[in-house]
A = this chain, B = another copy of it.
Amino acid sequence: MKPKATLKKIAEKLQISISTVSRALKDHPDISLETRKKVREFAEMMEYEPNTYAISLRTNHSKVFAIIVPAITNFFYQSFISAVEEESRLHGYSLMILQSGDNPETELDNLKLCRQNRVAGLFVSITIKTTDIRAFLKMEDLDVPVIFFDKVPDFEACNKVCVADRAAAELAAEALLRHKRKKILALFGNDQMSITRKRKEAFTSIIEGQKKIKFKADHAHNPEEARRLIHRYCGNGLTYDGIFCMSDDILTGVMKAVQELKYVVPRDVSVIAMSDGFLPQLYEPEISFVETSGYKLGKVAFTRMLACLSGSTFVQEIMVDAVLMERGSL
């Protein structure tokens, strides 16, 4: 157990004061070039590394960002996290990852950990059940920027970064219409989420603006529910020729059913989804999707975080454009 080098130890060995060592390592002009060199070399040799805790104790903030998501086992969050982690490292920050498990209580526990670790900033996608965001706003009182992403609260005065949900859903609807689909089934997720409502409203308004379109919308909370819905709606004969899936979860359930029913895509039925793109390319033909990239969102969120840290108190909601990726399923 080799004891770590500290300023003190270096100072003792070199017979100079701690402050001189500290300044020398920071290339402070008060210290002679000779001394600076001597100290730098010795510190190098001793493998000196500043004690983060001492620094954080003084400055009362750390070089650590935290990120709270319902679950990291999710493509979207995964790529979001990946992006933020990359940027963090590039900027000398570390990243602390916490899962709320879609449980508001755990979410509060996590928030507590963030406070205890005096994180420099916080990225959070709230749970479906989170209604009270005061605890989050309190963080901002402590000068810890909070960037909400993906699942964001309705509350106005906070930093939000999200996919242009309405535009994305519209793109998908228009794509189905462009391919002359007349009988459209749209499956959405949990109706409690604002994200669901936005997508549903946008999708519906495009479809209902058309004449002679048979349209049905429904909700599934998980892949299995989506699968059952397809069996119910399309189990005896093809009553629909176009299916919209709001998320990866829904897509997997839908495709399971479609394959079980031996429907051929896109001959029998067209499928389009909102996704980050990983799952759609697993199928044959690949599924067309409107890209909702967690990665891009992560990059944007990070930029916003840096802006907040450098004093921009201007609260805003940032949208990341959605792009239609046409594959073979339409």
**Distance A96 CA – B95 CA, assembled complex (angstroms):** 6
B118 pairs with A53, CB closer than 8 A: yes
A49 pairs with B115, CB closer than 8 A: yes
Other-chain residue from B53, B54, B86, B284 in contact with A259 (beta carbon distance below 8 A): B284
> Within the complex, what minimum Cβ distance (angstroms) separates A258 from chain B?
9
B89 pairs with A109, CB closer than 8 A: yes
Across-interface contacts of A52 in B (CB, < 8 A): 116-118
Across-interface contacts of A284 in B (CB, < 8 A): 256, 259-260
> Within the complex, what minimum Cβ distance (angstroms) separates A21 from chain B?
18
A73 pairs with B78, CB closer than 8 A: yes
Tallying the copies of this chain within the complex gives: 2
**A51 is an interface residue with CB less than 8 A from chain B:** yes
B116 pairs with A49, CB closer than 8 A: yes
> Within the complex, what minimum Cβ distance (angstroms) separates A292 from chain B?
15
Identify the stretch in A31-39, A56-64, A229-237 within 8 Å (CB) of chain B at 4 or more residues: A56-64
**Distance A279 CA – B282 CA, assembled complex (angstroms):** 10
**Distance A133 CA – B73 CA, assembled complex (angstroms):** 29
0/1 per residue, A241-284, Cβ < 8 Å to B?
00000000000100110011000000000000000000100111
Answer whether A99 and B116 are a contact pair too, CB < 8 Å, given A1-B142, A51-B57: no
Answer whether A1 and B141 are a contact pair too, CB < 8 Å, given A73-B78, A89-B106: yes
> Within the complex, what minimum Cβ distance (angstroms) separates A31 from chain B?
24
0/1 per residue, A98-129, Cβ < 8 Å to B?
11010000100110110111100000000000
Across-interface contacts of A51 in B (CB, < 8 A): 57, 118
Chain B: which residue is nearest A279 at the CB level?
B282
* Interface pairs A-B: 5 shortest CB-CB: A259-B284, A53-B57, A53-B56, A97-B97, A53-B53
The 23 listed contacts between A and B (C-beta, < 8 Å) are A2-B141, A4-B60, A49-B115, A49-B116, A52-B118, A53-B56, A53-B62, A57-B57, A72-B72, A72-B82, A73-B78, A85-B97, A86-B99, A89-B99, A89-B113, A94-B98, A94-B117, A96-B97, A252-B282, A255-B282, A256-B282, A259-B283, A260-B284
